[in-house]
Structure 1
């Protein structure tokens, strides 16, 4: 179950806060993948954990859509919500009219 781990970003180790890097990854479906991370803390944390990556929504429709994959369409600001004052809490429900079905 190996993949192109060099292209996956490093993440923060949930145990010690050090940098963790992807060791292997596997594609389970068109919208779901797991990546296995290993902590590289110089103090020898050694924590190993799995990160799930899931395609949840589209911010721009594809010019070449796959019929088997239909993701809800949202605007970038609604999806990212980067400049909102409420970014510290969990995401709220989508605003009516921002998601469309295909």
Structure 2
């Protein structure tokens, strides 16, 4: 599995994820370390669930993830089309 990564914000070199910590079902902190020995920057970045693109078949009732406006718009269009077909 590939780890989500980004370049070092200072020197733009490759970074490695060193550890992660789950803070909630929707947010994780990831500690990155720059691989450029002249830079050596270590930093924490966040990985957050922002919106739903496809609804889960096994949803958790206590979890609220916003539905993408694009998905909501398409679903509304489908519903209105189905009303005319019936």
Q: So what's the TM-score if we normalise by structure 2?
A: 0.74
Q: Which residue is equivalent to 1:52?
A: 46
Q: Does 1:39 align with 2:23?
A: no
In 2: Cα distance, 1:32 partner to 1:71 partner: 12
- Name stretches of at least 5 consecutive residues in structure 2 with no aligned partner: 76-86
Q: Report the structure, 1 or 2, having the larger helix content.
A: 2
From 11, 19, 23, give the equivalent of 1:24.
19
Which stretches of structure 1, 4 residues or more, deviate above 4 A after TM superposition?
none
Q: Which has the larger radius of gyration?
A: 2
How far is 1:7 from its partner?
Answer: 4.4
RMSD (CA atoms):
2.5
In 2: Cα distance, 1:14 partner to 1:58 partner: 28
- Name stretches of at least 5 consecutive residues in structure 1 with no aligned partner: 1-5, 80-96
